[in-house]
Amino acid sequence: MPIIKSIRKILQRLLFQNYKLSLIDKDSLKEKQVSDFYGYHILSIIAYLFLTALIVSFFLFGFTFFKELLPDRGVIKNNKIIELMIKVDSLERDLILKREYINMIHRIVRGEVVENTNVVDSDSTVLVNRNDLKPSKHDSILRQEVIDADLYNIPVYKAQMTNSIEDFVFFKPVEGVIIDDFNINNKHYGLDIAAAQNSSVKSCLDGIVLFSDWSSSKGNVVIIQHIDNIVSTYMHNSILFKESGDLVKAGEVIGVVGNSGEQSTGPHLHFELWQNGSPINPSDYIDF
């Protein structure tokens, strides 16, 4: 390998060549020898200087104020300051709590009434897991029940009193023939409708059963509350299917036509319609 050979040759010449350092007097041109040395002498002097510089700087930056000039020292110092600040903060909080606690003990010893003995001894910051905020299965079922109940709730009291009674479509309460008309003068506040035995009696509108019971004069009676302060009454039934508080739909069967009650002389339904406390002639709104 010629390259390696030539490098070795150059190195050999540099390291082992004899050099001579001399001074020549300008006037007399007399030569004065100062030093006589080889190439490797220079190399060892450079190595020595380098080592010395290394050791000096190590001690300089390691143990004197020069170490503050190193860039990384600043970051380490900041972290330490933050750490200390946190420590001081928690110590301060601890101190306040302890002071409160001692204060409370003092007050108890003096016989004073202490209302609150809860000394918060932990960080008030609570990490809330958002997933925990989902309603449980039990809760979801309850929520659905409430929503469903609300759907069928007859808004008797929160009714928007905007509908006129003409806007309602009434279900015929029974199939039959009117045998006695509505007559305020005779205090007959409804219609008497004769119907076949066992005909079903139906609610004229959606509503909630206010009353469902027997009375000696009117027999089995059902009274239903509807929206817009409308009330319907069904008398002389042979059987009642609904109880007070039951929700009913328009057209839903609530009883069976009968002849119950002292005022009844044959199977018929006495049907009344009231709004805002006044009787209404059902014939005006229902075709029989």
Q: Tell which residue, 245, 122, 259, 249, has the closest CA to residue 199.
A: 259
Compare residues 190 and 207 and give the one whose CB is closer to Zn ion.
Answer: 190
Shorter beta-carbon distance to Zn ion: residue 61 or 211: 211
Distance of CA 274 to the CA centre of its chain: 47
Q: What is the H or E stretch that residue 95 is in?
A: helix 71-109
Instruction: Note whether 266 and 245 are within 8 A (CB).
Output: no
Of all residues in the shown chain, the one whose CB is closest to Zn ion is 270
Check residue 42 and report its DSSP letter: H
Phi and psi based region of residue 187 (left: phi greater than 0; alpha: psi -120 to 50; beta: remaining): left
Q: Minimum CB separation from Zn ion for residue 179, in Å?
A: 9
Find the shortest distance in angstroms from Cβ 174 to Zn ion. 13
Annotate each residue in 229-268 with x if it binds Zn ion (CB under 5 A) or - if it does not, as one string.
----------------------------------------
Size of residue set near Zn ion by CB under 5 A: 2
Q: Where does 110-158 have alpha helices with state H? A: 137-152
Q: Is 192 in the site for Zn ion (CB under 5 A)?
A: yes
In the bound state with Zn ion, the residue whose beta carbon lies nearer, of 193 and 209, is 193
**What is the smallest separation between the CB atom of 272 and Zn ion, expressed in angstroms?**
8
Q: Does 270 engage in binding with Zn ion (CB under 5 A)?
A: yes
Give the shortest CB-281-to-Zn ion separation in angstroms: 13
Angle between the N-to-C axes of helices 2-16 and 39-63, in degrees from 0 to 180, rounded to the nearest 10: 80
The first and second tokens of residue 17, run together, are 């060549």
C-beta of 287: minimal distance to Zn ion in Å? 19
Q: What does the binding site for Zn ion look like in residue numbers (CB under 5 A)?
A: 192, 270
